[in-house]
Copies of this chain bind each other. A is one copy, B any other.
Amino acid sequence: MEDKTCHGVETAVHALVGKWKPIILYQLMETGTMRFNELKRSIPNITQKMLTTQLRELEYHKIVHREVYPQVPPKVEYSLTEYGKKIIPILQSMQEWGTAHQQYMRENDIQTIEK
């Protein structure tokens, strides 16, 4: 990767890329600390595998903190790191824009999500 146009934007995208990451972050941002299955329930269509891998990546990027309680049955809690909380404004802008976008596209009869 040359660093000619290697903007921060690229890096941000890289950290946020993945079908479910913004949704996961949005959940954690709204609810705070959440357990694995709690997160899973809050995102109906996600599979266990996807939730795990996306969480691992977010953890790797220090955006999400994973707290394991060594007990039976297992208990694992996820939360935004102080560092991860700094992307909240981005998510909020996205949320705002996305909602307006849905409205706009609906008014112009253009399909957005339903492939």
Which A residues contact B (CB, under 8 angstroms)? 1-2, 4-15, 17, 19, 22-23, 26, 42-45, 60-62, 83, 86-87, 89-91, 93-102, 104-105, 108, 110, 112-114
Other-chain residue from B11, B14, B96 in contact with A8 (beta carbon distance below 8 A) = B96
Instruction: Count the copies.
Output: 2
* Cβ B9 vs Cβ A23 within 8 A: yes
* Cβ A9 vs Cβ B95 within 8 A: yes
* Cβ B98 vs Cβ A8 within 8 A: yes
List residues of chain B with CB within 8 A of the CB of A83. 104
Interface residue SS majority, chain A: helix
Q: List 16 A-B contacts (CB under 8 A).
A: A5-B42, A6-B113, A8-B96, A8-B102, A9-B26, A10-B23, A11-B101, A12-B22, A15-B112, A60-B110, A61-B105, A61-B110, A62-B105, A62-B108, A62-B110, A90-B93
